[in-house]
Chains A and B, each alone.
Chain A
Amino acid sequence: MPDRTAQIEPVAIEPERYELTAPPAYRFAVDRRDFIGLLGGGLLVVFSAGAQESGRGRRSEALPQELDAWLHIGEDGAVSLCTGKTEVGQNIRTSLSQAAAEELHCPIASIKLVMADTALVPYDMGTFGSRTTPTMAPQIRRAAATAREALLDLAAEKWNVDRAKLSIADGKIAGPGAATIGFGELTKGQKISKTIAPGVPVARPLSQSAPKVAAREFVTGQHKYTSDMTRPGMLYGRVLRPPAFGATLANLDASSLPGVTPAVTIVHEKNFVGVAAPDAQTAAAALRQIKAEWTREAVPPAAASGPGLYQYLKQTAEPGEPNVQGSVADGMAAADIKLEAAYTVAYIAHAPLEPRAALAEWDGGKLTVWTGSQVPFGVRSELASAFGIPDDRVRVIVPDTGAAYGGKHSGECAVEAARLAKAAGKPVKLVWTREEEFTWSYFRPAGLIEISSGVHRDGAITAWECHNYNSGGSALLGKYDIPNQRNAFHPAKSPLRQGSYRGLAATANHFAREVHIDELAHALKMDPLEFRLKNLKDDRLRAVLQAAAERFRWGQGQGIGIACGFEKNGYIATCAQVAVEEKRIRILRVVEAFDCGAVVNPDHLKNQIQGAIAMALGGALFEQIRFGDGQISNARFSQYRVPRFSDMPEIDVVLVDHPDLPSAGAGETPIVGLAPAVANAVFHLNGTRLRALPLEGGL
């Protein structure tokens, strides 16, 4: 029986995301009249409440308007498409433009995507959870298809011909004889407003490797990230940071404050101390002069740092609701071999190459902030709440940003810049230093995962019990066909501020599960691939496993490992070959097979998968945040190693395309397979069983 999972598109947001901010109490919609006023006449397609998909998140909060998008075709033929999604490197500016262009049958270059400007785009929860491709792209297709149908109606009316005799291609409608007409000519002098027709026919993705939109701006250094922007009269901000987490400002020595000059602004309000100056050097010098005393009250306990961290997480955990199937006790009783093991994952940092940055400008009581964020509307609410003003007096604009990886769900830098700008009466830009980004953002959660299992000597897994402490519930349930299971996620008291990360819980849960599966296979003296296939019925997961194994030539060579999994409607299998040199693991070769339904853009998909493998390599082998006494002790690239050119293995990507199935997102799932495949490869090589990430710590 074919697996239908992908067709049952879950609308709940991914359960692994750690919310850092409460959802806003109020949302003020942008007035559509303002929007039309900005764009002028033509054809406007807006969202219809009837087409709205709503869902429930982890805390049952509704997700209204998650899928809103507006499309406008101007009298000059320009197609503007407005979405609250942000471009942080996943190339969704390109894939969403493709979706619209394919429905409108026009060149991608004629689509202008307006992204993440809260004054111009409809409300959007944010760009996370691999949601853009499965939810926003279809909505954009519906908007564009609605526009296409309206254009065809206009052309039929203009030429007084049967609509069925018209065709649309290359941005033009062809009618009787050789007559063609462009979109702009059709919309000239019109002010037509349409709502997205829920049942409008939309096409499957064409699966074409369109190049990144505006890529030339990046290879010439012309693209303006937030940190590159300026405004007239702009000042440069700096913020005084506490010496440790949980420290509060006890005393600020007023005599230490830099001499009051008209140019330098100093803000001291409660725990916030910051300066703004006409240049970065003056701001840094002013900051250095300030003498502050801090009270270190709520420093994370010593027991929570170092090797005691994982027991601390277990001890502070709140019992989570288990997912139970059958009886684990019965399954254990039926087992010939029983196994029990604990796995750990460390805190790691996102370290996007562009650190947090914001440029804030007040105009009377209105605030505009440019900032790199995955949640422009969330940042707008943070700003509104911080300054006690309504949301509609705050405009947040997110320029295409220097990456995020789940690490830019918060607006603290925007709030700090806005506070300084308010005091200075001038625009202020604040760019966090690398040390600030490493210290004052948030981390991928650390976690402890305990698994006990039983297996029959014929290779059938009879029992599985898994407890995850702190690292998240997503992908806690595997696809293995095990009759007796008990799985639970237990949220714990994290000593560090933690939050979302690319595939965070799925990485932890797949690491533990896929290493444990390998341990069972070896206990049975079965081939790890054969053992997996014996316990898997899921056709799509079996298919990626077999595709990866075949390309890898599984079974040949030393130091080989395999892992597979399912997350966010994507199916993944990874094979790796390793060498071990003293205390270093060298990944020689990786094959990864991925099935995300219909492929939207094969080259960009491969780019995401290759990038996910490269990023996974860091967390798998050596990335680890070190901390103690409320401080991060490796908050620099010279102390926190990230993957570099010399770490790269050969990577071979196998795309298992299903053009007939809905497209799942691909930014996250391809990251989950590498760590277990590598750990299993090390065991295959030298018999060392590594159960802790990063793996090199166990050599």
Chain B
Amino acid sequence: MPTVTQLTVNGTRRPIDADPDIPLLTVLRDHLALTGAKYGCGEGQCGACTVLLDGQPVRSCITPVRAAAGKQITTIEGIHHPLQDAFLEEGAMQCGYCTSGMIVSGVALLKKTPHPSREDIVHHMNGNICRCGTYLRIIAAIQKAAQHA
């Protein structure tokens, strides 16, 4: 299978030369120096690597790069959303390692459901792990951003 030679990331076309089967996360981080998406588990269980493909949240650690070719990829570096300010206002982080994935997932939720219930938030965000345990603050930040939407 031919290599993937181009991706569209955060609205910009980026030339690459990548084996089609390697994870999108690896390409973003190692080839394109976009390190906002994090490695946390390599099996789509923690959400630290979450990016948007045509607006849909995906776990980039288990998404082969070929699946992203021709799509609009949005990483945390390309996100400018009130949810980021809401995270700051709510102090919704400790070590911050999960934060990129939390915000990308949260932005996807707010796009689909601008005024989510608490249950909507829990259901949508349950694949994202915060080991520091700031979950309640993240819920509050999403609710706050929804109010301003």
User: A residues within 8 Å of B by Cβ?
Assistant: 88-91, 211-212, 215-216, 218-225, 227-228, 230, 236, 279-281, 350-355, 400-403, 405, 431, 433-434, 603-604, 607-608, 610-615, 617, 636-638, 642-646, 648, 651
A219→B126 contact, CB < 8 A: no
Partner of A402, one of B19, B79, B85, B95: B95
A403→B131 contact, CB < 8 A: yes
Partner of A607, one of B34, B88, B91, B103: B91
CB distance from A138 to the nearest CB of B (A): 23
CB distance from A441 to the nearest CB of B (A): 13
Q: With A211-B88, A603-B91, A610-B134 in contact, do A220 and B76 touch (Cβ < 8 Å)?
A: yes
A642 to B94 alpha-carbon distance, docked (Å): 17
25 contacts between A and B (CB under 8 A): A89-B95, A89-B132, A215-B87, A215-B91, A216-B88, A221-B37, A222-B77, A224-B35, A227-B38, A352-B95, A355-B39, A402-B95, A402-B96, A403-B97, A431-B39, A434-B40, A434-B41, A603-B91, A607-B134, A607-B137, A611-B132, A614-B135, A615-B132, A636-B41, A636-B45
B81-138 residues with Cβ-Cβ distance < 8 A to A are 84-85, 87-88, 91, 93-100, 103, 121-123, 125-126, 128-138
CB distance from B7 to the nearest CB of A (A): 16
9 more contacts with CB within 8 A, not counting A400-B95, A644-B135, are A89-B94, A212-B93, A227-B39, A350-B131, A353-B48, A434-B43, A643-B135, A645-B138, A648-B135
Note all chain B residues with C-beta closer than 8 A to A88: 95
A224 to B39 alpha-carbon distance, docked (Å): 13
Closest to A279 in B: B30
Partner of B19, one of A281, A615, A638, A646: A281
A604 to B40 alpha-carbon distance, docked (Å): 25
B96→A223 contact, CB < 8 A: yes
B133→A612 contact, CB < 8 A: yes
A211→B91 contact, CB < 8 A: yes
B75 at the interface (CB under 8 A from A): yes
CB distance from B131 to the nearest CB of A (A): 5
How does the 8 Å CB contact mask read for B1-41 relative to A, with 1 for contact and 0 for none?
00000000000000000010010001001100111111111
Partner of A636, one of B33, B43, B77, B130: B43
Note all chain A residues with C-beta closer than 8 A to B94: 89-91, 403, 607-608, 611
A645 to B36 alpha-carbon distance, docked (Å): 22
Partner of A642, one of B30, B100, B122, B129: B129
Note all chain A residues with C-beta closer than 8 A to B126: 644-646
User: B residues within 8 Å of A by Cβ?
Assistant: 19, 22, 26, 29-30, 33-43, 45-46, 48, 75-77, 79, 84-85, 87-88, 91, 93-100, 103, 121-123, 125-126, 128-139
Note all chain A residues with C-beta closer than 8 A to B84: 216, 219-220
A76 to B118 alpha-carbon distance, docked (Å): 49
CB distance from A113 to the nearest CB of B (A): 16
B76→A615 contact, CB < 8 A: no
B131→A221 contact, CB < 8 A: no
CB distance from A600 to the nearest CB of B (A): 14
Note all chain A residues with C-beta closer than 8 A to B35: 221, 224, 227-228
Closest to B84 in A: A219
Note all chain B residues with C-beta closer than 8 A to A646: 122-123, 126
Closest to B96 in A: A218
CB distance from B40 to the nearest CB of A (A): 5
Please name the 5 residue pairs, one residue from A and one from B, whose CB atoms are nearest each other, closest first: A221-B36, A614-B133, A89-B95, A402-B97, A221-B76
CB distance from B121 to the nearest CB of A (A): 7
Note all chain A residues with C-beta closer than 8 A to B139: 645, 648
A682 to B102 alpha-carbon distance, docked (Å): 33
Q: With A219-B84, A281-B19, A644-B129 in contact, do A354 and B97 touch (Cβ < 8 Å)?
A: yes
Note all chain A residues with C-beta closer than 8 A to B46: 353, 637
A219→B133 contact, CB < 8 A: no
Most buried by B among A211, A212, A613: A212
Note all chain A residues with C-beta closer than 8 A to B91: 211-212, 215, 603-604, 607
A610→B133 contact, CB < 8 A: yes
Q: With A219-B87, A434-B40, A636-B41 in contact, do A651 and B136 touch (Cβ < 8 Å)?
A: yes
Closest to A434 in B: B41
Note all chain A residues with C-beta closer than 8 A to B42: 433-434
A643→B93 contact, CB < 8 A: no
Note all chain B residues with C-beta closer than 8 A to A643: 133, 135
A637→B43 contact, CB < 8 A: yes
Note all chain B residues with C-beta closer than 8 A to A224: 35
A211 to B130 alpha-carbon distance, docked (Å): 19
A350 to B111 alpha-carbon distance, docked (Å): 34
A219 to B93 alpha-carbon distance, docked (Å): 9
CB distance from A219 to the nearest CB of B (A): 4
Note all chain A residues with C-beta closer than 8 A to B48: 353
Note all chain A residues with C-beta closer than 8 A to B43: 434, 636-638
Note all chain A residues with C-beta closer than 8 A to B136: 610, 614, 648, 651
Note all chain B residues with C-beta closer than 8 A to A352: 95, 97, 131
CB distance from B28 to the nearest CB of A (A): 11
A403→B95 contact, CB < 8 A: yes
A42 to B95 alpha-carbon distance, docked (Å): 33
CB distance from B57 to the nearest CB of A (A): 15
A79 to B104 alpha-carbon distance, docked (Å): 35
A431 to B49 alpha-carbon distance, docked (Å): 15
CB distance from B64 to the nearest CB of A (A): 12
Closest to B29 in A: A228
Note all chain A residues with C-beta closer than 8 A to B123: 646
A637→B137 contact, CB < 8 A: no
Closest to A671 in B: B133
CB distance from B97 to the nearest CB of A (A): 3
A604 to B137 alpha-carbon distance, docked (Å): 12
B134→A611 contact, CB < 8 A: yes
Note all chain A residues with C-beta closer than 8 A to B100: 218, 221
Note all chain B residues with C-beta closer than 8 A to A611: 94, 132-134
A517 to B121 alpha-carbon distance, docked (Å): 39
A91 to B96 alpha-carbon distance, docked (Å): 10
CB distance from A437 to the nearest CB of B (A): 10
A228 to B132 alpha-carbon distance, docked (Å): 20
A615→B39 contact, CB < 8 A: no
CB distance from A639 to the nearest CB of B (A): 9
Note all chain A residues with C-beta closer than 8 A to B138: 645
Note all chain B residues with C-beta closer than 8 A to A608: 94
A434 to B85 alpha-carbon distance, docked (Å): 31
CB distance from B95 to the nearest CB of A (A): 3
A402→B121 contact, CB < 8 A: no
Partner of B93, one of A218, A280, A350: A218
CB distance from B126 to the nearest CB of A (A): 5
Note all chain A residues with C-beta closer than 8 A to B130: 353, 614
Q: With A353-B40, A614-B135 in contact, do A219 and B88 touch (Cβ < 8 Å)?
A: yes
A280→B121 contact, CB < 8 A: no
Note all chain A residues with C-beta closer than 8 A to B41: 434, 636-638
Closest to B119 in A: A646
